[in-house]
Amino acid sequence: MSDTATVVFTPTGLRGEFPLGTSVLQAAQQLGVDLESSCGGRGICGRCQVMHSVGEFPKHGINSLAEHLSPPTEREEGKNNEVLRHGRRLGCSAQILGDMVVDVPSDSQIHKQHIVKEATAVEIDHDPAVKLFTVQVPPPNMDEPQSDLRRVQQILLDQHHVQAISTDLSVLQALQPALDRAERQITVAVYHDTEDQNQIMAVWPGVKERVYGLAVDLGSTTVAAHLCDLTSRDVVSSSSVMNPQIRFGEDLMSRVSYVMMNDGGDREMTQAVRQAFNEMAKDAAEKAGIKLADILELTVVCNPIMHHLFLGIDPTPLGSAPFALATDRPVTVRSAELDIHLHPQARCFVLPCIAGHIGADTAGVILAERPDQADEITLIVDVGTNAEVVLGNKDRLLAASSPTGPAFEGAQISCGQRAATGAIERVRVDPETLEPRFKVIGCDLWSDDPGFAEHTRKIGISGVCGSGIIEVLAELFLAGVIDSDGVIDPAMAEKSPRVIANERTFSYVLYEGDKTLQITQNDVRAIQLAKSALYAGTQLLLDHLGITKVDRISLAGAFGSHIDVKYAMVLGLIPDCNLANVGPVGNAAGTGARIALLDRSKRNEIEQVLRRVEKIETATEAKFQDHFVKSMAFPHLTDQFIELAKEVQLPERRVVNASGGTGRRRRRVRKAS
Amino acid sequence: MSDTATVVFTPTGLRGEFPLGTSVLQAAQQLGVDLESSCGGRGICGRCQVMHSVGEFPKHGINSLAEHLSPPTEREEGKNNEVLRHGRRLGCSAQILGDMVVDVPSDSQIHKQHIVKEATAVEIDHDPAVKLFTVQVPPPNMDEPQSDLRRVQQILLDQHHVQAISTDLSVLQALQPALDRAERQITVAVYHDTEDQNQIMAVWPGVKERVYGLAVDLGSTTVAAHLCDLTSRDVVSSSSVMNPQIRFGEDLMSRVSYVMMNDGGDREMTQAVRQAFNEMAKDAAEKAGIKLADILELTVVCNPIMHHLFLGIDPTPLGSAPFALATDRPVTVRSAELDIHLHPQARCFVLPCIAGHIGADTAGVILAERPDQADEITLIVDVGTNAEVVLGNKDRLLAASSPTGPAFEGAQISCGQRAATGAIERVRVDPETLEPRFKVIGCDLWSDDPGFAEHTRKIGISGVCGSGIIEVLAELFLAGVIDSDGVIDPAMAEKSPRVIANERTFSYVLYEGDKTLQITQNDVRAIQLAKSALYAGTQLLLDHLGITKVDRISLAGAFGSHIDVKYAMVLGLIPDCNLANVGPVGNAAGTGARIALLDRSKRNEIEQVLRRVEKIETATEAKFQDHFVKSMAFPHLTDQFIELAKEVQLPERRVVNASGGTGRRRRRVRKAS
């Protein structure tokens, strides 16, 4: 019998020849197989789990007998962390006694790509800023008088190649008691900051297996958090709360006004939003069954005004030109400094804002979508109260913010409401009869399906949400009820009783029940103003880039996820593009926060990307107004929608005249802008 | 007339030819003349002050006429910071209009060596961790939307070559209000940490000229602070308080016992000492007429137990073998984290401890004395309750701590007391008559001077302090009253009524007044035990270094400053050495704290030096006991004091026998050890 054995690792197929008695972990490390180990192969961490594949493997030319692996050690059997369930073994304890095939399960691989299940599924590399290391610290020795901290630092360097120079004071205070409690075995958390410095931020006696991070998308209306296991990368729970600042003002500018009018108003709003973070973190921790103290990091994306208010910076300068940010650098602080109570030494990383109107939320979107890495020209649109627009590819990247106002969210619309149960979200209008059918949030049936009335009796039909408004307007436009300039055609009143006169203009009755839901001429105007701002902003970026057509359009955010992209293009919210390349990308800003949480290296990377971003200020570009006026028409006064026309029968350009002449109407539309 | 002029700078003598109209600052910078400027030559900081030397200078070949310098500008005249007093000019505003001699006053020089006046005078290079920079920040500009922070960072880099990446949250909060208040002129404080990172830690509107640092020597008994101007390096005030921990235990071990016996005792002591820091800082600030918020840094030296209690680390492990320190690294924290209230973002730098018994105070001593840079072998002795001993030169450096106990401080001595008014501090004994004469703290007269009784009536004569005890014992030994083994000779009772029987031993009556002050046999024993511990510790280090003689002895600390080194050597506190090379070095530990405060580069340097220090643990060295026993004799049982004998007539080795035989006495001495 030979004194070496052939070992093949699956799934990689890496193989090698090793002396009998070599541990599976050693063999894996020599071959460069991805096999995790955080304790330096001392049977402590339980992460180097492998499966011995027993049997004849002709493909590898190996007869992998059960006795070719050493029997389980006491250390393995004594593990109460279920290492050996499903026949798994610790790679560090299992010795090679003959030829074998060894499988490395995916959860034992270090560099694996990972699909996060909740929220937007996305591949995130795993390199969190907070990492755990379980170490056995040698006892103090008077002949080599070193401090316990130095021994810990030395072992981190020797076993894990981590040079951790600085140490939080609380770690100094907790270190020796922790060493005492578990026979000098401790787990330390090391924080790797954006300056490439490692800090020992926490210590626990014995083995600590899991710590968590919270990725937060701080919106003007909603604050949403995903609690992630920093070891496994899984989203273990999610939580969201209303942004309590709403009581100070519905939209951003009214909150800035509140600060300007009320001494200490900024502090009130800062406290309110931080309190929301605390509640949300508590909720997420409870849902996941973990302690708040096990949350070691927080990453945050948000718009500039939320950013300043969250950090306790007066947002007043952002309320008027020149819209100067206090900082457009990433911010790292202790959560405790923000009165957010997680682990006492938890860090908070806030992604950088880009410009006065373009926030860390857009930074998150770019981080999630990486238009800067693509050849094709991508347009990313994130619609909220402002719409952020990003355009470009690996060569150039531009960003702007367009003042769309809240119409897309259902505000300023007579029948509008937030996307909630009872809101009409889908609409079809029969082009012949002009009769609508629709769907309501909370019910899977269409309004002309049997049983719809019964199903919706309880939930009620209370209004139309953003996506419903886009659909009804687009359908009315396609059906000829609304002309290219957005006028509800008085002539249609003869064709259908749903088109009714309303003083000097006309309305379309979408629903009559407990409540009557009408689309008025003013509602159409509100959407026109919003979509013109969005389209004009996009057009400015296209001008700056010197192109007329984009390869791909990504719609970020909740609105982008719910609207039908075809209808958005019919109304001219977005420019013409092959519809196959237009689609929602989910909560990309929140995904950016998660990426920053789980992959530290992206923090500096995104800052480098943002430095290259050309910021276009819509407020000061003379051409914006010109684009804005031309964008009022559906889908646009002059731009052609060739790609869209392949999919949708667009009406001929047609401008009705409430009293006969087209010219007069067009002028009136211009005035409305 | 030529269109260039010759300019000579004094005191350096650097000279050059410059186009007419060149500013004096530009000329200085081109020649590499040390002329300070922190505002980039914009007339803001007022630091580039120069004096135009008017007259004929044959030595330089220059006729330096008054009109060869441009007249004072409005900016200079408008200065309310007395720039122009004594005829000074701002180098940045004054233009060269002809040949001239320009003097750079010492306070305008950047790299000058500086003599600190208070406390121990010492040369300290000037490179504080906290530096001020006054900058004029360009206004925000929508065409180049950068945050205000980034503009500040850019200007720091461009004008001062300071790359300040990270920024305290409070600076982000204060930045824009500060920019608003003084037309975008601000002063920032940049903290340069031991990891070589620059952090913007504070911001003020307009020009901030001075900030301060506090260097603290935290002793078991006394906490002493020097408040230093970080710009000028001057000590502007000093303050000291009793260490309030004394109420928990007089000496270190009794404080550790208090922690072990009382739950929460460590927290009580931590709070007490931090409170003392707050009081001391307040006192120092008031004395200097500055605000606490103008103190931006604190440096601290202390022994290991004080170190742990100050930082809130349980000192119990330091109370017993193996005396494991929690950390022997330097510690940098926010003062606020220690509940010390200076500037809200003030930093605290605690020098590193060396080993369980050898503290940051010894690190301070090494930093002040730099034995590691010398060729000659230096012995440094810092006597307190423990004596720290450092021995070596640039090749090797060793350190130990010897358990001398508090006898040198007057404790354990029947007539002993702290060095305070009324304590006998100097003693001479007539070798013939055995009559003493002495001096008392608070009176400049010797006891046999006319008027002594009158002068001392008010202050009283209450006891003998440490230096007085050393002197009286040494004088009694030289006069033959005490033999080489420390026995008070019964035969002397016949020679002088001052030697009296006291049960089975004899005493020497030093003073009879309101109080009788005697030197008893037990007092001699107490000093013998203390000095044996000290000498044995020194001897261990000599053994390790393989030498028998040192080139220089430095006595650090208050005791070292007050004792007469000759008497210390007569008694064998310190080994034989040329007396010309033996002397006090003042409060070297406190000086070390000041050096660390004013010269940032020394912080890493001292850590490197300390890594090389060989720590000798007296408790576990077998030879310590042997050395200890031999060191009981005056000056030593076997070691020769050849250098001392050149200066002092040492008595022949002589051992009296209270009942006749020398052998028996010597054995009794050994038992006493």
- pLDDT tens digit sequence for B154-190: 999 999 999 998 899 999 999 999 999 999 999 999 9
Q: Are B351 and B606 in contact (CB under 8 A)?
A: yes
What span, in angstroms and rounded, lies between the C-alpha atoms of B535 and B631?
A: 6
Chain B CB contacts of A337 below 8 Å: 169
* Chain A interface test: which of B141, B151, B166 (most A C-beta within 10 Å): B166
So what's the pLDDT on residue B79? Answer: 56
So what's the pLDDT on residue B82? Answer: 55
pLDDT tens digit string along A273-293? Answer: 999 999 999 999 999 999 999
Residue of A142, A197, A321 with shortest CB distance to B323 = A142
What span, in angstroms and rounded, lies between the C-alpha atoms of B101 and A47?
A: 75
Structure tokens at B270: 């931590």
pLDDT tens digit string along B472-489? Answer: 999 999 999 999 999 999
Domain A227-350 in CATH 3.40.50.620:
no
Element counts in chain B: helices (H) and strands (E): 19, 31
Q: Are A63 and A57 in contact (CB under 8 A)?
A: yes
Residue contact B173–A147, C-beta within 8 A: no
pLDDT, averaged across chain B:
89
Chain A CB contacts of B353 below 8 Å: 147
Q: Are A301 and A216 in contact (CB under 8 A)?
A: yes
So what's the pLDDT on residue B406? Answer: 79
Residue contact A143–B331, C-beta within 8 A: no
Chain A CB contacts of B142 below 8 Å: 321-323, 356, 617, 619-620
pLDDT tens digit string along B390-403? Answer: 999 999 999 999 88
pLDDT tens digit string along A637-669? Answer: 999 999 999 999 999 888 886 554 444 333 333
Q: Where are the beta strands (DSSP E) in A268-359?
A: 295-302, 331-334, 347-350
Site of tokens 């004799």:
B633
Q: Helices B662-672 and B521-545: crossing angle, nearest 10°?
A: 80
> Which CATH architecture describes the domain A130-205?
Roll (3.10)
Could you tell me what percentage of chain A is helix, strand and coil, using 3-state DSSP and rounding each to the nearest 5? Answer: 35, 25, 40
Buried b (16+ CB within 10 A) or exposed e, B580-593: ebbebbbbbbbbbb
Does residue B440 have a pLDDT over 70? yes
Does residue B657 have a pLDDT over 60? yes
Helix (H, G, I), strand (E, B) or coil at A5: strand
pLDDT tens digit string along A37-47? Answer: 767 677 777 77
- Determine the length of chain A: 673
pLDDT tens digit string along A226-271? Answer: 999 998 889 999 998 889 998 888 778 889 999 999 999 999 999 9
Residue from B326, B316, B606, B355 nearest A169 by CA:
B326
Identify residue B567 by its one-letter amino acid code. Y
Q: Which fold has domain A4-108?
A: Ubiquitin-like (UB roll) (3.10.20)
Structure tokens at A445: 């049936």
CATH number (3.40.50.620, 3.40.710.10, 3.10.20.880, 3.90.600.10) of B114-205 reads 3.10.20.880
The list of chain A residues with pLDDT below 50 reads 80, 111-118, 660-673
What span, in angstroms and rounded, lies between the C-alpha atoms of A85 and A207?
A: 19
Query: What is the CA angle A281-A285-A288, rounded to 5?
Result: 140
pLDDT tens digit string along B73-127? Answer: 877 776 545 556 667 888 988 999 999 999 887 667 654 333 333 455 667 788 9
Residue contact A142–B620, C-beta within 8 A: yes
What span, in angstroms and rounded, lies between the C-alpha atoms of A590 and A503?
A: 45
pLDDT tens digit string along B562-601? Answer: 899 999 999 999 999 999 999 999 899 999 999 999 999 9
So what's the pLDDT on residue A662? Answer: 41
Cα-Cα-Cα-Cα dihedral sign, residues A276, A282, A286, A287: positive
Chain B CB contacts of A310 below 8 Å: none
Alpha carbon B480 to its chain's center: 39
ipTM of the complex, rounded to two decimals: 0.78
* Three-class HEC string of B547-597: CCCCCEEEEEHHHHHHCCHHHHHHCCCCCCCCHHHEEEEECHHHHHHHHHH
Chain B CB contacts of A148 below 8 Å: 324-327
B535 exposure class (CB count in 10 Å sphere: 0-12, 13-18, 19+): buried
What span, in angstroms and rounded, lies between the C-alpha atoms of B427 and B564?
A: 11
What class does CATH assign to B212-350?
A: alpha beta
Q: Which residue does chain A place closest to B611, by CA atoms?
A: A146
Mean pLDDT value across residues B14-33:
84
What span, in angstroms and rounded, lies between the C-alpha atoms of A206 and A123?
A: 32
Q: Are A36 and A131 in contact (CB under 8 A)?
A: no
Does residue B2 have a pLDDT over 80? no
Q: B4-108 and B369-404+530-647: same fold?
A: no
So what's the pLDDT on residue B581? Answer: 96
So what's the pLDDT on residue A201? Answer: 97
DSSP A479-498: TTSB-TTSPBPTTHHHH-TT
* pTM for this predicted structure: 0.80
Q: Where are the domains of chain A?
A: 4-108, 130-205, 227-350, 371-673
Q: Give the range among A34-38, B237-241, B283-287 with minimum mean pLDDT.
A: A34-38
Neighbouring CB atoms inside 10 A of A9's CB total 24
Q: How far is B280 from chain A (nearest CA, A)?
A: 23
Q: What are phi and psi of A664, to 5 degrees?
A: -65, -40
Residue of A140, A314, A328 with shortest CB distance to B176 = A314
Helix (H, G, I), strand (E, B) or coil at A536: helix
So what's the pLDDT on residue A283? Answer: 95
What span, in angstroms and rounded, lies between the C-alpha atoms of A140 and A136?
A: 12
Q: How far is B38 from chain A (nearest CA, A)?
A: 24
What span, in angstroms and rounded, lies between the C-alpha atoms of B207 and B81?
A: 11
Buried b (16+ CB within 10 A) or exposed e, B377-402: bbbbbbbbbbbbbbbbbeeebbbbbb
pLDDT tens digit string along B307-363? Answer: 999 999 999 999 988 999 999 999 999 999 999 999 999 999 999 999 999 999 999
Chain A CB contacts of B149 below 8 Å: 325-329
Chain B CB contacts of A172 below 8 Å: 311, 313, 326-327, 331
Q: How far is A171 from chain B (nearest CA, A)?
A: 10
* Chain A interface test: which of B149, B327, B603 (most A C-beta within 10 Å): B327
Residue from B203, B136, B135 nearest B174 by CA:
B203
So what's the pLDDT on residue B632? Answer: 96
CATH number (3.30.160, 3.40.50, 1.10.3470, 3.30.420) of B369-404+530-647 reads 3.30.420
* Chain A interface test: which of B314, B325, B351, B357 (most A C-beta within 10 Å): B325
Distance of CA A316 to CAs A223, A263, A321, A671, B175, Å?
22, 12, 10, 31, 13
Binning pLDDT at 50, 70 and 90, where does residue B659 land? low
Residue contact A173–B313, C-beta within 8 A: yes
Q: Which residue does chain B place closest to A321, by CA atoms?
A: B142
Residue of A147, A355, A356 with shortest CB distance to B326 = A147
What span, in angstroms and rounded, lies between the C-alpha atoms of B91 and B37?
A: 9
